[in-house]
Every structure is written in structure tokens, then in C-alpha cells.
Amino acid sequence: MSRNFDIVVVGSGPAGLAAATAAAALGKRVAVLDDNPKPGGQIWRAGIHPDRHPDPAKARTIAAFSASGAELFSGHQIVNASGPGIVDAWVESTKTLESFTCDKLIFATGARERFLPFPGWTLPGVFGAGGLQALVRSGYNVRGKRIVVAGTGPLLLAVAAHLKEDGATIVTIAEQSSISRLTPFLGSLLTHPKKLRQGVRLRASLLGSPYRTGCWPVAVEGHREVTAVRLSNGARTWTEPCDLLACGFHLVPNLEVAMLLGCNIGADGVTVDENQQTSVPHVYCAGEPTGVAGVDAARLQGEVAGLAAAGDTQNAGRLYRRRNAEATFGKAMNRAFALRPEVLSLAQPDTIVCRCEDVRYRDLDAQRSEHSAWTDAKLQTRCGMGPCQGRICGPAIEQLFGWKNNSVRPPLYPIPVSAFCKANSARVDSEPNALPRL
Amino acid sequence: MHDSDPLNHGHLLVVVNGRSIPMPEGSTVAAALLTANAPCRTSVAGEPRTALCGMGICFECRAVIDGVPHQRSCQIPCRDGMEVETQP
């Protein structure tokens, strides 16, 4: 089945919602596609319980979007973008593949946590930091659990505060970045009072739980479940008994759609012009895929992209200055939470790196050579060949071995073979000479 | 469960590996598996695994839901009477 819109937005997080709202207000017919059951993206993920500290920006953005006339397609997982004006989505609830065509495409695909392998990280009870928060919001009760929160990034504090409010004991928060790296970033918060207030509130809510900088996890202890986490500060290593570990190493942008469309990608993310247009004409990008910078940057970039894609570059221009200030903040944040070399050497020979295919560090290490690359490693070891298609091990392997995952191809997610058969039989009916596109 | 819950959400029953598990309405199947202390899946090398990313991208939370294998349990809401099994 195929539907046509003026503008299709991929992603219903802060950037996607802002983009769609802005474009719809200018009279454009807008569709927003998202894999998740509800709008809001990961940062504004809806929970089964009401938010204790509702974010007014979330309520405002979602209300404006709902009133905008843009159409939301939740539960739509993007599996292909075969050109700038066409995306295909797999709809799990109806087990169908649906096509959306458009004049302008805005992708706002967000970011995911970066994971790094260390002994025991595959044990049940080890989660991403944002991962555990999402699972708690969707009904997992952590009351009474002793939790170590570790890794790096501003997310650790937010997750720890949330888990504590849900009745968990936060044993410790281990931030791998050093205080000397974090200090300039804390200084930059002075020009962002809202963020500063938020940080102070989170830290205050965690009084009693140590926030250790320059401290990182080296191993998880336990058999079939977590019993303790071993932490190090470089000078000494000690054991913290706990029930769960919530661990993520900041964020990496979701670039699969950008790669599929052939958009230029720089060191931080997708390259865009002042109107958020990518190197591919009529394709715009907003939010974390252009470089991790947080929710305020995402909303502003989304609004610029929505206005510009709808033809109103004049109003888009009024937002440049604020948007650029948020990008500067993002750069300071990413410098503050850059990975220290020690966390890139935690994996032991038998540590699993690719969780889908259980590929161990030694298998990948054996592939090291002058000319080795992701594709060679993939073919030789099966790393990145499982259902996540390298989304988890890819960023880790890039850090550990320098091999960049550049083999993105459709379908972007595993879908049943029957989906192709149905989609193609429908297409053959309407276009007798059409070749399967996927 | 969440005894501070002001809305007093209704509970529904999900059968995880043969055991009935009460879950608050709106919960995902991944949360039910964790509540039941059951792994979502068994890895290629035979290790038990639970959900990692919680947002539908890592595929560690794959489970058998109402007989359908390899379902991402973190993206699927619980329904009363749903049968969930650890993905072998």
C-alpha cells in the first residue's frame, strides 16, 4: 500500500515532532513515521505511570503536534528509503509493508546508547542506562534493587535519579570522565540556566549515592545473574555488590537512513546546511543524527527543518542563532564525555563483542591487519550479521578496532520473507514491469 | 508492585514460561519477562540473555509470544492471557 504526502518525517521524538508541527502549520500534508507505540522518542518516552517531574516542553510539543494536522503513524518501522522521496515501513501489527512517497523527506532518527564490551556485560541484569530506564517505564519494578549506574554521559545522572524515585538503591554512579574534563562543561552550563537547574535537581535528589568521576566498570561478577560489579579508578579496583548494572557510554546517532540515502556524513554526524538540508537535495536531517547535542538542539533543528522544507526559510533563519548555540553546547558535552583509553581495553579474549552472533574479542583481534576493515571482519567472524545488524557491536568495534560499519542495506531491520512476497505481488498488480525494490 | 501508583492501574495476567505473572496495564512483554526472572532468549553459544537497550534496536529481548518466535518483547505491550516463552 502506498500513500503520498508533501513531507514525510521519520521519527517522532522532539526533532521530528517539531519539524512536523512547523511544516503542517504552513499547510503541508505531513506524515510522521515511528517504530515506537507512542510519540515522544526516547527522551520523552511515555511510561505506564504519570511523570513525577513532567517536562513542560514535552507536553507543549506533543500538544502542538496533535493540533497541527500532521498525521502520526506509530508502530511503523522504517526498513528502506530507496530514494529521497520514498520510504518503506514494516507494520508489525498488520504484518504489512507500507510505502510512503513525498516531495521532501525529514529524518529525525535520534540516537542510541553506545555500549562497550567488558567481562560479564552479557549477563542477565546488565542493561543500558537508558535501557533500564525505558524498561522501568514499561513496567519493570526495581523497588528494593541495588543498582550500579556506570559508563559516561549526562544520561547517567538522569537515569540514577529516576531509578531511585522508583524505589531502587543507587549503590554508586561511576562516570568514566575525569573531573578535569568535566569542569569546562559544567562551566558552559552557566549560559544554559535551564540545563543547570535540571542538573542540580538531579544531583540533589541523589544525595547519599556517590557520583564518582574517573571511575569505570571493569567486570561484572555472577553466574546467570549479577552479584557485583568491579569498578576501577585507575589506581585501585574494588567490588560493589549489587543486583543490576545500568551501563551506557554516552550516545551514538542513528545513521542508517542517512547512509542508505547516501547523505554526506562527517565526524559528528550527518552534514547539513543552515536549513538542515543534507547533501541529498530535498532530504533534511534534524536532531541527534547531525551530532549528539540533546533535546533542545533537536527541537530547534526540527523546527528549522520543518519550516525550510515547507518553503519558509525566512522564519527558519530566525532560529539559526539559538540552534547554533545548542550545537556549541553539544560539542562541549561530547568533549566532556569523550572516552578514556582504559574503557577501550576492558574486553578479555573470551569477552563477547557481538551479542547477536556471540563473536568474541579474540575472534575479532585475529582479524587485525594493516588493511582490515569492517566487511572483512564481518565475513570472517559473523560480527554484525545478527538481527541488530551491527547497531550494538558496530560502534564498539569502531572504537576498539577502528573498523567503521559502512555496510548498511535494506531491509534496515529483519522482516518476514512473506512481507516481500505480499508487497511485490501488490506491486506487480499495479506495475506489471516493476522490479522488486527491496 | 508500584504501591505509590496514584492511578491504581489495573493488572493483567501474563503467562511466562508457564507461570502466571501479574503486570500493570501498559507494561511491555520485556518487563514481564524481567519480573518473572526469565531470560528473553538463549544466545547462539547457549547463554541466557535479557533486554539491553529497551528501545527495540538490540534484539536481545526476542522471545516467543503467543507462539510467534523472535518477537521484540520490549516493543510489544502485554495482553491479558498472553503466553510468553524464552526464545530457545
- Taking alpha carbons only, the member of A236, A238, A232, A239 closest to residue A218 is A232
User: Which cell is A386 given?
Assistant: 545478527
Give the HSE-up count for residue B85: Cα atoms under 13 Å, Cβ half-sphere: 8
The residues with which B62 forms a beta bridge, in sequence order, are B72
Residue A425 is predicted with a pLDDT of 55
**Residue A34, by phi and psi: left (phi above 0), alpha (psi -120 to 50) or beta?**
beta
pLDDT (mean) for A287-310 = 97
Give tens-digit pLDDT for A221-234.
999 899 999 999 99
Q: Which residues of B touch A50 (CB under 8 A)?
A: 6-7
Q: Which residues of B touch A135 (CB under 8 A)?
A: 28, 30-31, 34, 51, 54, 74
Q: Is A184 exposed, middle or buried (0-12, 13-18, 19+ CB in 10 A)?
A: exposed
Q: Which residues of B touch A356 (CB under 8 A)?
A: 44, 59
Contact B52 A37 (CB under 8 A): no
CA-based nearest distance A318→chain B, Å: 34
Contact B52 A127 (CB under 8 A): yes
Q: Which residues of A touch B34 (CB under 8 A)?
A: 135, 140
Give tens-digit pLDDT for A267-298.
999 999 999 999 999 999 999 999 999 999 99
CB nearest B49 (choices: A45, A124, A132): A124
Domain assignments of chain B as residue spans, ordered by start? 11-86
pTM for the full model?
0.93
Residue A294 is predicted with a pLDDT of 95
- Which numeric CATH code is attached to B11-86? 3.10.20.440
Contact B31 A35 (CB under 8 A): no
Q: Does A255 touch chain B (CB under 8 A)?
A: no
Residue burial A39-68, b: 16+ Cβ < 10 Å; e: rest: bbbbbbbbbbbeeeeeeeebeebbebbeeb
Residue A436 pLDDT more than 90?
no
Q: For chain A, what is the total number of helices (H) and then of strands (E)?
A: 14, 19
Do the two domains A2-112+252-334 and A115-247 of this chain adopt the same fold? yes
Percentage above 90 pLDDT, chain A: 79
**Check: CATH 3.30.1360.80 for A2-112+252-334?**
no
CA-based nearest distance A139→chain B, Å: 5
Cβ-Cβ contacts under 8 Å for B9 (sequence gap 6 or more): A48, A49, B2, B24, B25, B26
Contact A355 B43 (CB under 8 A): yes
User: Can you tell me the distance from the alpha carbon of A406 to that of A397, in angstroms, rounded to the nearest whole number?
Assistant: 12
Q: For chain B, what is the total number of helices (H) and then of strands (E)?
A: 1, 7
- Confidence band, pLDDT 50/70/90 cuts, at residue A423: low
A419 vs A261 pLDDT, higher one? A261
Domain assignments of chain A as residue spans, ordered by start? 2-112+252-334, 115-247, 347-401
User: Can you tell me the distance from the alpha carbon of A256 to that of A390, in angstroms, rounded to the nearest whole number?
Assistant: 11
Give tens-digit pLDDT for A103-150.
999 999 999 999 999 999 999 999 999 999 999 999 999 999 999 999
Contact A355 B34 (CB under 8 A): no
Residue A437 pLDDT more than 50?
no
Q: What is the CATH topology of the domain spanning A115-247?
A: FAD/NAD(P)-binding domain (3.50.50)
Residue A177 is predicted with a pLDDT of 97
CB nearest B60 (choices: A130, A224, A355): A355
Q: Which residues of A touch B74 (CB under 8 A)?
A: 134-135, 138
ipTM of the shown complex:
0.92
